[in-house]
Amino acid sequence: MPRILIVEDEDIIRSAIRKLLQHAGYEVSDAGSVEEAEQNYEPDQYDLIISDLRLPGAAGTELINRAPNTPVLIMTSYASLRSAVDSMKMGAVEYIAKPFDHDEMLAAVSNILARKPTAPDSSEEPGASSSTPENSDPANIMFGHCEPMQRVFTLIRKVAPTETTVLIQGESGTGKELAARALHLLSPRASKPLISVNCAAIPESLIESELFGHEKGAFTGAVSARTGLIEAADGGSLFLDEIGELPAEAQARLLRVLQESEIRRVGSTQSRKVSVRMIAATHRNLKAMTRTGEFREDLYYRLNVMQIRIPPLRERQSDIMGLARRFLKRQGEKMGKPNLNLSPEAMRALERHRWPGNVRELENAIERATILCDNDVITPSLLDLDSEGGEEHIPETLVAGNNEQTRTNDVDSANDLSLEDYFQHFVLENQDRMSETELAQKLGISRKSLWERRQRLGIPRKKSSGN
């Protein structure tokens, strides 16, 4: 488990980041200054140091020299971007501007940690990503902070490096293909191809020759010999999606591949050895299909050595907003609408929806809304969801931030600070020792917006407080 040291003098920010990172599975220590960090810990023994730039005593950038073997992520307010650039020159690996939201911080952390280990493999196959450091964790490939997805990630991390055949189960659109990708990218086969085949999409008459290849003249139309997809995956992984749709003859051939590690092209008498890691997926109950004779029992047991169940989106309530924001960002950038936001009503609609089409449905809803949106605010009507089910009260949380985009509905973080709570605490705790300009700078907002928020939250500026 990666160890992270946080150095931040603001108690509230420090504790919010600590909770966020602990929740994401990191081992976290914290200190209020560089001196305290050195007194209580050995900063160079950590995998990552996250430090505020401006601290009482030595500046956060001092840690770059004092812990030369540990990457340092510097936090700074927008107002100090210049210093951030300077800290980069001094050797900080990254800086993050306050306010940042959960996703930004977690992405920055996992990217830095992923950069540390082994060098990437240079023998990358076209069409298949190699094991670049960014791909060394499932969380970099698929989004998921909630408990059930963290369990999926743990399983993927454990099983990926092995040669074990994996059966991924889950409803349509839950992310089975992404999970297969993660299994491949985290395996020693990552630099070799990952071939994905949707068994339901290939006509029954063609599936055998597609998968196993054929010799010239094997059937009418086989004018030349052809390599099958299994052979093409030699050395790599084969992802067989919708395995439940595989016809009986192809099931028999596939069983042979699994048992003997060899294939025989259609129309050939010769077998050839292949080394392919099999990953299969289905949304159907394969075990029940073995009872009705639709699926071979021996093949089922061969495939089902290790099973990974991807939970439906309705069981990942706390991830919905994170996924929605991720898709919104991606779509917005693609369509030249970078300032898109979800209205509070749209957020509630997303939270209440049952998502029968799972993550794919969410992705499509955001894409559709992005296209149709004429201004910067996405409303429920643009999402076009049937809102069913009761409304749930889910608190908004944040690490540090000042705008609507820093909201999240992570139920697991219900104990964290709400956006307004954070603001209120921060202002009340610091207004006696900081000027309005400093407060606004630390919060990363303008003085005007600080004033507006004070009015709205009923914490007017004290007459005595300076500028």
Q: Which residues bind ligand ATP (CB under 6 A)?
A: 142-144, 170, 172-178, 241, 283, 323, 359-360, 363
Q: Name the minimum Å distance from CB 242 to ligand ATP.
A: 7
Q: Name the minimum Å distance from CB 387 to ligand ATP.
A: 21
Q: Which is nearer to ligand ATP, 156 or 439 (CB)?
A: 156
Q: Which is nearer to ligand ATP, 274 or 366 (CB)?
A: 366
Helix (H, G, I), strand (E, B) or coil at 210: helix
CA 137, distance to chain mean position in Å, is 9
Give the CB-side neighbour count of residue 354, counting CA atoms within 13 A. 6
Q: Which is nearer to ligand ATP, 355 or 426 (CB)?
A: 355
Q: Name the minimum Å distance from CB 206 to ligand ATP.
A: 19
Comparing every residue's Cβ against ligand ATP, the nearest one is: 175
Q: Which is nearer to ligand ATP, 177 or 245 (CB)?
A: 177
Q: Which is nearer to ligand ATP, 87 or 358 (CB)?
A: 358
Per the structure block, which two tokens stand in for 370? 């992005």
Helix (H, G, I), strand (E, B) or coil at 206: helix
Alpha-carbon span 110 to 73, nearest angstrom: 11
Q: Which is nearer to ligand ATP, 150 or 343 (CB)?
A: 150
Q: Name the minimum Å distance from CB 337 to ligand ATP.
A: 20
Which whole-number Å values give the CA distances from 50 to 33, 63, 78, 377, in the listed order?
12, 10, 17, 34
Helix (H, G, I), strand (E, B) or coil at 308: strand
Alpha-carbon span 76 to 52, nearest angstrom: 6
Q: Which is nearer to ligand ATP, 283 or 354 (CB)?
A: 283
Residues in the chain: 467
Residue given tokens 């966020």 in the structure block: 20
Of residues 54, 60, 89, the one with CA closest to residue 72: 60
Q: Which is nearer to ligand ATP, 203 or 466 (CB)?
A: 203
Q: Name the minimum Å distance from CB 138 to ligand ATP.
A: 9
DSSP 455-467: HHHT-PPPTT---
- Whether cis (ω within 30° of 0) applies to the bond prior to 148 is no
Q: Name the minimum Å distance from CB 175 to ligand ATP.
A: 3
Q: Which is nearer to ligand ATP, 193 or 312 (CB)?
A: 312
Helix (H, G, I), strand (E, B) or coil at 202: coil
Instruction: Give phi and psi for 461, each to the nearest 5.
Output: -65, 135
Q: Name the minimum Å distance from CB 46 to ligand ATP.
A: 29
Q: Name the minimum Å distance from CB 173 to ligand ATP.
A: 5
Which whole-number Å values give the CA distances from 298 to 163, 242, 301, 339, in the listed order?
19, 18, 5, 54
Q: Name the minimum Å distance from CB 152 to ligand ATP.
A: 9
Q: Which is nearer to ligand ATP, 241 or 245 (CB)?
A: 241
Q: Name the minimum Å distance from CB 117 to ligand ATP.
A: 23
Question: How many angstroms separate the first and last alpha carbons of the chain?
Answer: 45
∠ CA(203), CA(209), CA(214), 5° rounding?
A: 155
Alpha-carbon span 443 to 461, nearest angstrom: 16
